[in-house]
Structure formats: structure tokens, C-alpha cells
Amino acid sequence: MQNAYASLVEFSRDLYALRSAVGVLSWDQETMMPAKGGDGRARAMASLSRVMHQRFSDPRLLETLEACASAEGLSPEERVVVRELRRDRDKAIKVPEALAAEIAETVSLSQRAWADARPKNDTASFNPWVAKVIELRRREAECLGYSETPYDALLENYEPGARTSYLRKLLNDLKAELVPLLGKLMDAQGKTPPTLDGKIFPVAEQRGFNMKILSAMGFDLEAGRLDESAHPFTEGLHPEDVRLTTRYSEKDLMSALFSTLHEGGHGIYEQGFQPRFFGTPMAEAVSLGVHESQSRLWENQVGRSRDFWSCQYPDLQKVFPAQLGGMDLGGFLKAINRVQPSLIRVEADEVTYNLHIVLRFELETALFGGDLEPAGLETAWNEGMRRNLGVVPDQPSQGYLQDVHWSCGLLGYFPTYTLGNLRAAQLFDAANLAMPALKTDIRFGRFGALKQWLNVQVHQSGRRYDGDALMEKVTGAKTTAAPFLAYLKGKYGDLYGVTL
């Protein structure tokens, strides 16, 4: 029976290697590929998708899985490997190979169409791609099956176990709390809060500081790299080859820094699995909503905190003496934590960010449910922005064309951002409970204990627990908004000396 398990691991490692090849192709497409390379690349993606599909369909895999299921003497972790591969296989074979390949090829092409359309505000050329992607995803959802609504089948791709009805309630409740909080904070900030706007921060110096922070967090630069791309992302090819990107603008010091902290958090997760399980589901992330909790924790709970900057800010001032010499720590913290309803999700502050997600969720469920056509997206978007945030874009590149997700077929993905925000706050509370010296550590630039705690509590479990089960095990409760709201109130209350 140990033989069956060994064959299964062999299968898993092979599949993982193929996924890792897809990862290289995808990273390369975003960072290195020349303009005309798109057609060939889309073809390669489709071929690899077919290959992986064929592996899952191999009847020998089913035999092996069944032999493993009845095997005795497997460890709990080995049982997780069997269970999760069975889940992946059952899911994969529900979608016909031709459909899976068509999706892979279409999203590779569609992403390019989006990249062409966005700077030109060319909605006419983009909308048919959205329609095509939705149609393909709808066909996929029908193949996958669902209990309440087809959108559930898509959520399952990114956050196993999450349901549309559950997220609708969570997001609506959160919105109900955030809107009044936003009003209070706008008042507390006053009309002219401190700002970094208008200053120029040369990119070469930014690069040096970013690399220093990434290294200090504990990201292993011999098992990964940091590059630049239009949209920052993390591609974990293998726990020993994790690719991060950031983007620099000399007008915006914090954009690259927060991206680096954010992607660094993702990267530490990808590097944090147990070596003996490399290439199996025990060395894979639980879900996107847990992944995002890792990036957000480093970006926000750590990277926007007074503790963090009380040590790092003097160093940053040394790198940019002319630009920051005249601004004290309190002013800097207000500047980098400024709350302001704005058009672009990825640049949003911690309070308004989730209101962007609410809009994406509303639009996706409407598009997917047939209540909204792609041609109506622009209008629906602008109305939603007015309703949720009180600001309206004057062009689609600042509006519904801003994110790559829909062109990539990533429908059902956005809600995991909010799950990540909530879980980050919840996990950070648990970390502080477990390690009373944590804030002091951070105040002195020491991140080793935090990284180690996350490694043990979150990363090393691989896919052993689903998102809520993991939260319950580590924090004693399922995902909930209370710690996040308390965190915001505590932090901003402290910043402005008010009670929220």
C-alpha cells in the first residue's frame, strides 16, 4: 500500500512540475515576453492545459487514489495528500479537456486584448472578450456543478467552501460598518492632512530600500527574486523559486514599498512549506483568501504600523533626506494611512479598499447571473462607484478596465481579497496573543519570530485545513469582521486621538 502512495506522490510531483512550467510561462509573459510573442504563448498554455488534463483523466490515477484511500498506515499528512489530489482530480475531470484548453488559450489572448484596450479606453474591443470569458466560465460552472448558484462553482476555484450567500452577507455587513467609519475618519483627518504628494523619489534609491525590507522580512532571495511589472504579482514556481514583482514610480514612494511588503508576504508563504512535502498538496496554499491574509498582514498590520516605522522611518529619511527630512514620524504615518475614497482599487487605503471589493462582487454576480450584460458594465460600474464610494471615473481606464481579472477569467476571485483583509487582522491578533513581545520586535526591526509563527501556524499545514478550519485552529474562530474593524478603529483612533 505504501507503493500506491509512492506512485501517487510521483504523479503529484510530475503534475506540480508541469504547473511550475505554466508558472514560468506566465511570469515570463508578464515580465519578459516581447510584444509579438502572445499567439505562440497562448498556444503553449493551451497545450500544457491539455497535458495536465490528460494526466488527471488517466484511469491509473483513479486506481492509485482508490488504493491509497483504503491503505492503512498512512500519516495524517499523507491522508491530506490523498484527499486533496482526489478532490483536484474529481474537479479536473468534470471539465472536458477541450473546454479547459479553450479557457487557457482564451484568457491568455484576452489578457492581451485588455492590455491593448485599457490605455486607449477601448471598451468596444474589450467587452466581447468579457462576454466570451463569462460564457466559458459559465460552461465550466455547469460542468463543475453547484448547490445554490453557478457563481459558487467559481468561488470554489479560489476559496474552497465559500458560498455566494455567505459572502453577500459578510460583505454587506462590512459595508454597513465601513461607510459610517469612513465619514468619521474624513472628518478627523481634516482638510489638509500631511502628504508625500509632489515629492520626487529617485527609483534607484527606492530599489535599494525595497530590497532591504524584503530581505529583513525573511524572504529568501536565493530562492526567489524581485522584478518589475506593470501590475505587481507573485508566482510561486516552487518553494525554492518564488518570483515577486513590484512597480516603481518616482512620484509615489509608497506604491512600490507596499507592493513589496504585500508580495513579500505572499512569497514567504510560498517559501514556507515543508520540504518533505514539496510537489504535493501538503506544500500548497489553502486558498487565495488565506494567501491574501499573508500579504495583507505584512503590508498593513506590519507595514502601515507605528511600530514598524518607528524603526524603519529614520532609515528611510537617510535615503531621502531632502524629501523626508522635514516630516516627523507622526506626519509620515498620517500621510501613508490617509483615508480617501478613490478610483483605483490597488491604491485604496485600508478602509475604502473593501468597498471596491463590494462593487466587484455586485457586478460579477450580476454579470454571471445574467442580470447585467458586458455592454452595460461601464454604466453599472460608475453607478456602483457613486453609491459605494461617492466618486466616479471619467474614463474606463480609471474605471472598469482598471483590473486584469476579468480578462484573465478570474471571476469569483475578488471576494478573496476581503477574506484576506479580515483574516490578516484576525491572525495578527492571535500572533500578538501568542507572542507578547511581537510589537517590540517589530519596533526594533526584528521579524524572525513573526515569520516563524506564520510558518508553523499557517504555511506548514499546506492544504490540510480549509480557510475557515485553519482560522478556527489558529485563532479559535472562523473568519469574522470584528478583529478587522477593531484594528481599524484602534489604529485610526490612535493616529488622530479620537474615539471611533
- Active-site residues, by number, are 263
267-281 burial: b if 16+ Cβ within 10 Å, else e:
bbbbbbbbeebbbbb
In the complex, what is the shortest distance from the CB of residue 291 to a second copy, in angstroms, rounded to a whole number?
19
Helix (H) or strand (E) holding 226: strand 224-228
For the segment 123-142, give every residue that binds a second copy (CB under 8 A). none
371-382 burial: b if 16+ Cβ within 10 Å, else e:
ebebeebbebbb
Three-state DSSP class for 225? strand
Contact flag: residue 41 with a second copy (CB under 8 A): yes
Binding a second copy by CB under 8 A: which of 47, 165, 379, 395?
A: 47
Helix (H) or strand (E) holding 283: none
Three-state DSSP class for 25? helix
Three-state DSSP class for 488? helix
DSSP string, 227-270: EE-SS--EEEEETTEEEEEE--BTTBHHHHHHHHHHHHHHHHHH
- Residue 51 or residue 346: which is nearer to a second copy going by CB? 51
In sequence order, the 6+-apart residues with CB closer than 8 A to the CB of 30 are 229, 230, 231, 233, 245
Beta strand 241-246 pairing with 234-238? antiparallel
Contact flag: residue 244 with a second copy (CB under 8 A): no
Contact flag: residue 394 with a second copy (CB under 8 A): no
Contact flag: residue 35 with a second copy (CB under 8 A): yes
- Residue 12 or residue 397: which is nearer to a second copy going by CB? 12
Binding a second copy by CB under 8 A: which of 13, 60, 318, 473?
A: 13
* Separation between Cα atoms, residue 196 and residue 206, nearest integer Å: 14
Q: Identify residue 134 by its one-letter amino acid code.
A: I
Helix (H) or strand (E) holding 224: strand 224-228
Contact flag: residue 39 with a second copy (CB under 8 A): yes
- Residue 13 or residue 169: which is nearer to a second copy going by CB? 13
| Whether 408 contacts 233, CB under 8 Å | no
* Distance set, CA 55 to CA 44, 58, 62, 85, 104 (Å): 17, 5, 11, 12, 16
DSSP string, 95-162: S-HHHHHHHHHHHHHHHHHHHHHHHHT-HHHHHHHHHHHHHHHHHHHHHH--SS-HHHHHHHHHSTT-
Contact flag: residue 102 with a second copy (CB under 8 A): no
- Residue 197 or residue 222: which is nearer to a second copy going by CB? 222
- Residue 18 or residue 62: which is nearer to a second copy going by CB? 18
Q: Which stretch binds a second copy (CB under 8 A): 14-22, 148-156, 205-213, 308-316?
A: 14-22
* Distance set, CA 484 to CA 174, 374, 403, 479 (Å): 10, 34, 25, 10
Binding a second copy by CB under 8 A: which of 88, 122, 177, 240?
A: 240
Binding a second copy by CB under 8 A: which of 155, 237, 290, 358?
A: 237
Cell of 395: 474614463
- Residue 35 or residue 322: which is nearer to a second copy going by CB? 35
Size of the residue set binding a second copy (CB under 8 A) = 38
Task: Name the residue among 369, 386, 425, 370 with its Cα closest to residue 165.
Answer: 369
Q: Which stretch binds a second copy (CB under 8 A): 36-44, 141-149, 362-370, 375-383?
A: 36-44
Contact flag: residue 143 with a second copy (CB under 8 A): no
Q: Which stretch binds a second copy (CB under 8 A): 43-51, 136-144, 371-379, 479-487?
A: 43-51
Contact flag: residue 46 with a second copy (CB under 8 A): yes
Site string for a second copy, 49-68 (x = CB under 8 A): -xx-----------------
Q: Which stretch binds a second copy (CB under 8 A): 68-76, 220-228, 362-370, 439-447?
A: 220-228
Binding a second copy by CB under 8 A: which of 1, 17, 344, 498?
A: 17
Q: Identify residue 45 by its one-letter amino acid code.
A: M
In the complex, what is the shortest distance from the CB of residue 465 to a second copy, in angstroms, rounded to a whole number?
25
Contact flag: residue 211 with a second copy (CB under 8 A): no
* Separation between Cα atoms, residue 420 and residue 296, nearest integer Å: 7
- Residue 64 or residue 426: which is nearer to a second copy going by CB? 64
Site string for a second copy, 263-282 (x = CB under 8 A): ---------------xx---
Contact flag: residue 230 with a second copy (CB under 8 A): no
Task: Name the residue among 171, 29, 22 with its Cα closest to residue 104.
Answer: 22
In this structure, what are the phi and psi dihedrals at residue 447, rounded to the nearest 5 degrees?
A: -115, 0
In this structure, what are the phi and psi dihedrals at residue 367, rounded to the nearest 5 degrees?
A: -60, -45
Contact flag: residue 203 with a second copy (CB under 8 A): no
Binding a second copy by CB under 8 A: which of 14, 90, 148, 315?
A: 14
Binding a second copy by CB under 8 A: which of 7, 25, 83, 398?
A: 25
Q: Which stretch binds a second copy (CB under 8 A): 80-88, 237-245, 291-299, 441-449?
A: 237-245
* Separation between Cα atoms, residue 238 and residue 376, nearest integer Å: 41
- Residue 88 or residue 220: which is nearer to a second copy going by CB? 220
- Residue 26 or residue 301: which is nearer to a second copy going by CB? 26
Residues binding a second copy (CB under 8 A): 13-14, 17-18, 20-21, 24-25, 28, 32-37, 39-41, 43-44, 46-48, 50-51, 220-225, 237-241, 278-279
